[in-house]
Amino acid sequence: MTYVLVTGGAGYIGSHACKALKQAGYTPVTYDNLVTGWQDAVKFGPFEQGDLTDRTRLDEVFARYQPVAVMHFAALSQVGEAMSEPGRYWANNVGGSLCLIEAAVAAGCLDFVFSSTCATYGEHDNVVLDENTPQQPLNAYGASKRAVEDILRDFEAAHGLRSVIFRYFNVAGADPEAEVGEFHQPETHLVPLMIQAIKGERAALTVFGTDYDTPDGTCIRDYVHVCDLVDAHILGLKWLEEGKGSRVFNLGTGSGFSVKEVLSHSRAVTNTEVPHVIGERRAGDCTKLVSGSVRAGHELGWEPKRSTLDQMIADAWRWHQSGHYER
């Protein structure tokens, strides 16, 4: 068997990546501490519970499976929390990643696919972002991810570690077969929050700020379907296997949608009004984040096939009709 170690494989994006890996002929080994992940989401290969900061445990797992590559998703990722508790983000996202990278190098596992974020760019208002846009993160979440990118570059120079870094825009949707989906406790992402409000599981969705410099006053984001996103990770893994060297790719569609536009599409897909209230702006939120890159398409051959708002909302809606995980 060809094993790939997937950190955070019990989480939203990680679990979809495990399904894609299995379909591509690999055996994903999920490494997760289940602080935010769900053991129920681990369906496509072995599960190993552990912390990123536990070097002894990591060494055991590398020795047991001898993976050909690492896909590193595990991270704390809430912007609000990163503003109020930055120490947790530096310790977990940077300290944990460093421990993982050192363990991978020690095990001779030198192909590394890293889940980074467009939050590394910070505020570049009304600029479409490509891989060469200056990285000036606004919070400890973006800063911690940028630091891991730097660590990967240093470990390539010193140890020959090869990496593909993906800077994501907003991820939405779910597995169309509803085997896995998005289920956070607490939930912070727009599409599932909207669905919870429609289903009466929360009183209303809060729209944070309507006075941004955008046509309707609400923040604009570039949304990518989670299945399209993980398809890119398989292509990134193949890229490394083919010896093409380290590369950074933005993963976005190039189209931005405002919060109000997402609400309006949701009404069209579900035939239900989204109960919502207007709140204050959140600290650390950018006005507009949209990818302007064509690199992933040109070089990896990546083509987002499901990343329309209607498709993402419909797939998420289908999952939320029946899907959830139990502790």
Question: Which contiguous run of DSSP H or E holds residue 114?
Answer: strand 111-117
- Find the catalytic residue in 3, 12, 89, 141: 141
Q: Express the helix, strand and coil content of the chain in percent, nearest 5 each.
A: 40, 20, 40
Q: For residue 72, which of 39, 113, 107, 108 has the smallest C-alpha distance?
A: 113
Burial of residue 189, with CB atoms counted within 10 A of its CB: 0-12 exposed, 13-18 middle, 19 or more buried: middle
Q: Which two tokens stand for residue 32?
A: 């997760």
- Bridge partners (DSSP) of residue 29 are 5
| CA–CA gap between residue 191 and residue 316 (Å, rounded) | 8
Give me the amino acid identity at 294.
Answer: V
141 is catalytic: yes
Q: For residue 79, which of 125, 135, 118 has the smallest C-alpha distance?
A: 118
Residue 301 has a CB neighbour count (10 Å cut-off) of 11
Which of the residues are catalytic? 141
